[in-house]
Chains A and B, each alone.
Chain A
């Protein structure tokens, strides 16, 4: 009987996580879209919706904690619940990145700055597609997919480097443009970090499935501390 309750509860929490995931996906896409259309209202809405993401995350966290306390799960179930805690934190952080992009959007909307929007859109689409599939893998506990998805991070990194150098060149050519170029740097940084967060989610999937904790992206040794400072942009 208890087993049934736990199973049912786990499935409900999974559904909630998927809803959180979809909120986050939409937030990133909307933020980039707002940037493309230079739409302040849309950007404000993304910022406003971030509260919803945070609330959802806390609600899920509560639910997981109650399950941990009342069901005393073991082995796989315990790893699953612990993994879920981790995943919702990552999702919430990605939500913050969306908010960061939206903030830049508000700042740049009235400026006549050239935004490499095509590359940015591609980066966002790529990262969100990774996130979407990572959550699929999370539900299906598809370990193979979880090991595969982080490899795509390279494509996002490549785009990041491309735009990064372009922006640096702009700054060198025209010091007047430094402020705006710097803002755009935040945007691509946030997108690049989004893809890294997806990698973390994938690590969790492998952990839930095998109990093995591992770092999938050895190249990326950017410290989390630095990240904390950066994404409050």
Chain B
């Protein structure tokens, strides 16, 4: 291959040389002979003019032919080199698509070798580039999909990278954040302090609540010196949800302890009084024991309701669903509560159209909902008031309403009264456990219905709940 390409380079010159030699070998003796013959005929001396002209012309033509071949080979070579240069440039600047290594680079073995080297380099670079891109896209997918926020900055406090979650946390876009100072991006003094600290070498983590959104974050600062010198990374873990649950749990515990403490304290007081001598006074002792009995009833009601609630919430309650007529249900509940209402000086009315469809419900549970709601109404309606029950159909649901003419509910409480232990008016609600409405809510929701309240302070309250109509 090498030899042949070398031959290809010299071949034109050899050709010219051969023609030149041939012309010389044939032409010169012939001209000499002709000159000698002419000299013999005329008797003059040997005239070398034509011979000289011939030799000169042949030589000059040969020379030019050689020059021409040389120039052409040179131009081809230069063209090939230019193409190779362009290809190298493309390669260097990463234009793999436009990269074109010329097929024909001329016969010079050095150029051939250069072309070969360039080809393998391009292959290698392309291969490595693909691998890098693959890895990069994998990393960036991980970064953007991870649920923690991540931010990397250099030692001057300039942000070099932040992922999607961090963009969301700090409400800033990647383009805006890159190159800015960490202060500008994070906008939180505690975070900046953390940054200053761990930049000094110590890895630290803190928890903090951030901004108007009250995101509760755990932040970990890590020096990346082992991997990338002079860089640090902040990881933000969003603990808002966990934190909220923690608060709910804490509130619950504190509420329940409070609810338990009150009857416990009065039991303790009553029993102490009994021990201190009231026992010797039978009528008084009896009175005390009756009150103790009431307190124990209250306590057991609380515990029962709590158990009930936790059973419903955990989904372990068995509902005995069946087709029932809504009016019958309402009438039965109403009957059970009328006496109690009348004792408090309240009247109870009910209206229920006969043509209401059957509903799919557990009658005992729905009665419980009615009773809780009526009980609630009795508690918050002053004597002389009225409690009105009604029902109507609305699409695939029957809507029940328990309306009273009582004190109503303040606007700010309306949405919260179904929470466990929530008492809008602590002074008035003294007797209840604060669980009744919460139980109603869970029962209605277990039926696939909704429960809500509408009220204006001072103008009575309306409680509504819906139960799905039984499919025919």
In the bound complex, how far is the Cα of B410 from the Cα of A124, in angstroms? 22
Chain B residues near A21 (CB-CB < 8 A): 187
A168 at the binding interface (Cβ < 8 Å): no
Check if B184 is an interface residue, CB within 8 A of chain A: yes
Which among B181, B410, B426 has the highest number of chain A CB atoms within 10 Å?
Answer: B181
Q: Are B192 and A19 in contact (CB under 8 A)?
A: yes
- Kindly provide the distance from the CB of A180 to the nearest chain B CB, expressed in whole angstroms: 16
A19 touches B212 (CB 8 A): no
With A22-B187, A26-B189 known to touch, is A132 a contact of B412 (CB < 8 Å)?
no
Q: Is A116 an interface residue (CB 8 A)?
A: yes
Task: Tell me if A132 and B183 are in contact (CB < 8 A).
Answer: no
Contact B188 A116, beta carbon cutoff 8 Å: no
Q: Which 8 residue pairs across A and B have the least CB separation, nearest first?
A: A15-B183, A22-B189, A125-B212, A19-B189, A18-B183, A22-B188, A23-B189, A129-B212
Q: Which A77-118 residues sit within 8 Å CB-CB of chain B?
A: 112, 114, 116-118
A25 touches B183 (CB 8 A): no
Count residues on chain B whose CB falls below 8 Å from chain A CBs.
Answer: 15
Asked if A67 is at the interface (CB within 8 A of a chain B CB), the reply is: no
B184 touches A118 (CB 8 A): no
Across the interface, which residues of A come within 8 angstroms of B211, CB to CB? 25, 29, 128, 132
Chain A residues with Cβ below 8 Å from B426 are 112
Q: List 9 A-B contacts (CB under 8 A).
A: A11-B181, A15-B183, A18-B184, A22-B189, A23-B189, A26-B188, A116-B412, A132-B212, A135-B187
Within 8 A of B (CB), among A115-172: 116-118, 125, 128-129, 132, 135, 139
| Interface hub of B187, B192, B212 (most chain A Cβ within 10 A) | B212
Residues on A with C-beta less than 8 A from B157 are: 15
Query: Whole-angstrom distance from the CB of B196 to the nearest CB of chain A?
Result: 10
Interface mask (A37-70 → B, CB under 8 Å = 1, otherwise 0): 0000000000000000000000000000000000
List, in ascending order, chain A residues with CB within 8 A of B187's CB. 18, 21-22, 132, 135
Query: Which of chain B's residues has its CB closest to A23's CB?
Result: B189
Nearest CB of B to A29, in Å? 7
Q: How far is the CB of A15 from chain B (nearest CB, A)?
A: 4
A114 to B157, CA, bound (A): 46
Contact A139 B184 (CB under 8 A): yes
Contacting residues, chain B, for A25 (C-beta < 8 A): 211
Among residues 171 to 196 in chain B, which have CB atoms less than 8 Å away from a CB atom of chain A? 181, 183-184, 187-190, 192
Min CB–CB distance A188 → chain B (angstroms): 15
Query: Beyond A19-B189, A26-B189, A118-B412, is A128–B212 a contact (Cβ under 8 Å)?
Result: yes
- Smallest beta-carbon distance B209→chain A, Å: 8
In the complex, A139 Cα to B185 Cα: how many Å?
Answer: 11
Bound Cα distance A14, B211 (Å) = 19
Which chain B residue shows the least CB distance to A17? B183
Interface string of B196-214 (1 = CB under 8 A from A): 0000000000000001101
User: What is the chain B residue whose CB lies nearest that of A37?
Assistant: B247
Pairwise interchain contact A15-B181, C-beta atoms closer than 8 A: yes
Cβ A15 vs Cβ B412 within 8 A: no
Please give, as numbers and ranges, the residues of chain A lying within 8 Å of B214 by CB-CB distance: 29
Which B residues touch A112, using CB under 8 A?
A: 426
Q: Which A residues are in CB contact (< 8 Å) with B410?
A: 114
CB neighbours of A26 from chain B (8 A): 188-190
User: With the chains together, A139 CA to B181 CA distance in Å?
Assistant: 11
- Closest residue of chain B to A24 (Cβ to Cβ) is B189
Q: Are A19 and B183 in contact (CB under 8 A)?
A: yes
Residue of A nearest to B183 (CB): A15
Give 12 A-B pairs besides A18-B187, A129-B212 with Cβ atoms closer than 8 angstroms.
A15-B183, A19-B192, A25-B211, A26-B188, A26-B190, A29-B211, A114-B410, A118-B412, A125-B212, A132-B187, A132-B211, A135-B187
Smallest Cβ distance from A48 to chain B, in angstroms?
15
| A26-B187 Cα distance, complex, nearest whole Å | 11
B395-412: CB near A (< 8 Å → 1, else 0) gives 000000000000000101
- Cα A114 to Cα B412 in complex, Å, equals 11
Instruction: Give chain A interface residues in 6-37, CB to chain B under 8 Å.
Output: 11, 14-15, 18-19, 21-23, 25-26, 29
What is the bound-complex CA distance between A139 and B184, given in angstroms? Answer: 8
Closest to A119 in B: B412
* Neighbouring B residues of A23 by C-beta, 8 Å: 189
Task: Report if A29-B183 is in contact (Cβ < 8 Å); known contacts: A19-B192, A22-B188.
Answer: no
User: Residues of B contacting A132 with CB < 8 Å?
Assistant: 187, 211-212
Residues in chain B near residue A135, CB distance under 8 A: 187
Min CB–CB distance A51 → chain B (angstroms): 14
Q: Whole-angstrom distance from the CB of B149 to the nearest CB of chain A?
A: 17
Q: Report if A15-B212 is in contact (Cβ < 8 Å); known contacts: A23-B189, A118-B412.
A: no
Q: Which residue of the partner chain A has the closest CB to B411?
A: A118
Which chain B residues lie closer than 8 Å to A128 at the CB level?
211-212
* Best-buried of B189, B192, B214 by chain A (most CB within 10 Å): B189
A15, A22, A25, A125: residue with the most chain B Cβ atoms closer than 10 Å: A22
Nearest-neighbor residue (CB-CB) of A16 within chain B: B183
CB distance from A163 to the nearest CB of B (A): 12
Q: How far is the CB of A99 from chain B (nearest CB, A)?
A: 17
Tell me, rounded to whole Å, the shortest Cβ–Cβ distance linking B248 to chain A: 14
CA–CA, A11 to B158, complex, Å? Answer: 12
Known: A129-B212, A132-B212. A15 touches B184 (CB 8 A): yes
- B18 → A minimal CB distance (Å): 76
Tell me the bound Cα distance from A22 to B426 in angstroms: 38
A116 to B410 Cα, complex, angstroms? 11
